[in-house]
């Protein structure tokens, strides 16, 4: 099918959202700036998510899935998606659809000269506590990484796959994707995207894993930055 872009959709207990995910992504495929396919990564859901995912994939040839044996976390789901991508570009969106699939076209329009383009959630429709903890966490990450990004937790990104596959991902480090591209001497950019309140299902992040956990992860990033191996091959015989 000559696909150019793969959208990874991590899923963990999102049965209440998956019908809308199918509809919204199917609508996006009709207007996508690149020939696009969808890859669900079921992170060990305990509800009926897998059943719904298989039905969606059976009815839509542009949809595929990976199912984990057990819950491994968002970083693992994104990593599995990267490793199972065979298109030039890869991106991801959360299955709660608090961001809009059509905004992928805004990111794709910029990816030519950049290696990662990430959204910045404009006019966030979250609670005060969630917004404040995210603002603090992003400020701490910027101080550690110097990546200049205002909203690394935005679940709408496009990455050149050759860069995505080289990211040494660890649990929690999905929040550091722009910084990990910089480690590869890549170029990054952020642009505003739409944001919506969660309509169904339950949020998977609380104060601990939105604020305290990422602070600890910053030290893991600093260790990785010091040890990171980066090279480009000049010639092969």
Q: Determine the angle formed by the axes of helices 128-145 and 213-227, rounding to 10 degrees.
A: 20
pLDDT at residue 18, rounded to an integer: 96
Q: Is the pLDDT of residue 90 over 80?
A: yes
185 or 215: which carries more pLDDT confidence? 185
Cα distances from 50 to residues 47, 191, 206, in angstroms, run 8, 33, 25
> For the range 130-136, what are the long-range contacts, defined as Cβ-Cβ under 8 Å and sequence gap of 24 or more?
130/203, 130/210, 133/207, 133/210, 133/211, 134/210, 136/211
95 closest CA partner among 121, 76, 77, 122: 77
Is the domain spanning 5-227 CATH 1.20.200.10? The answer is no
Does residue 11 contact residue 97 with C-beta atoms inside 8 Å? no
| pLDDT tens-digit map of 52-70 | 999 999 999 999 999 999 9
Quote the Cα angle for 172-19-58, to 5°. Answer: 95
Beta strands in the chain (DSSP E): 5-11, 36-42, 63-67, 89-93, 116-121, 156-160, 188-193
In the prediction, which pLDDT does 124 show? 64
130 has a pLDDT exceeding 90: no
Q: CB within 8 A of 112, min separation 6: which ones? A: none
The count of other CB atoms within 10 Å of the CB of residue 235 is 4
pLDDT for res 144: 72
pLDDT in tens, 69-79: 999 999 999 99
Residue 133: pLDDT band (50, 70, 90) is: low
DSSP secondary structure letters along 189-225: EEEEE------SS--S--HIIIIIHHHHHHHHHHHHH
> How many angstroms separate the most distant Cα atoms in the chain?
58
Residues contacting 33, CB < 8 A, separation 6+: 104, 105, 108, 109
Q: Report helix, strand or coil for 144.
A: helix
pLDDT the model gives residue 126: 57
Predicted model pTM: 0.85
Q: Per-domain residue ranges for the chain?
A: 5-227
So what's the pLDDT on residue 138?
Answer: 65
pLDDT higher at 52 or 124 = 52
State the pLDDT at residue 108: 97
């Amino acid at each position: 099918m000559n696909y150019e872009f793969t959208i990874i959709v991590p899923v963990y207990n999102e049965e209440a959202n998956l019908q809308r995910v199918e509809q919204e992504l199917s609508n996006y495929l009709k207007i996508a700036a690149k020939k696009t396919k969808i890859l669900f990564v079921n992170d060990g859901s305990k509800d009926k998510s897998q059943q719904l995912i298989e039905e969606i994939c059976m009815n839509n040839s542009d949809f595929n899935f990976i199912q984990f044996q057990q819950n491994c976390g968002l970083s693992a789901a994104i990593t599995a998606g990267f490793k199972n991508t065979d298109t030039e570009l890869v991106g991801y969106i959360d299955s709660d659809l608090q961001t809009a699939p059509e905004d992928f076209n805004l990111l794709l329009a910029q990816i030519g000269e950049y290696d990662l383009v990430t959204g910045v959630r404009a006019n966030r429709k979250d609670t005060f506590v969630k917004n404040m903890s995210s603002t603090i966490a992003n400020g701490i990450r910027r101080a550690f990484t110097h990546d200049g990004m205002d909203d690394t937790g935005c679940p709408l990104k496009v990455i050149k796959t050759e860069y995505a596959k080289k990211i040494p991902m660890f649990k929690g480090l999905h929040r550091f994707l722009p910084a990990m591209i910089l480690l590869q001497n890549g170029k990054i950019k952020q642009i505003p995207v739409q944001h919506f309140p969660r309509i169904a299902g339950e949020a998977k992040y609380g104060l601990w894993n939105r604020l305290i956990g990422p602070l600890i992860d910053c030290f893991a990033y600093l260790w990785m930055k010091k040890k990171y191996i980066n090279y480009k091959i000049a010639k092969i015989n």
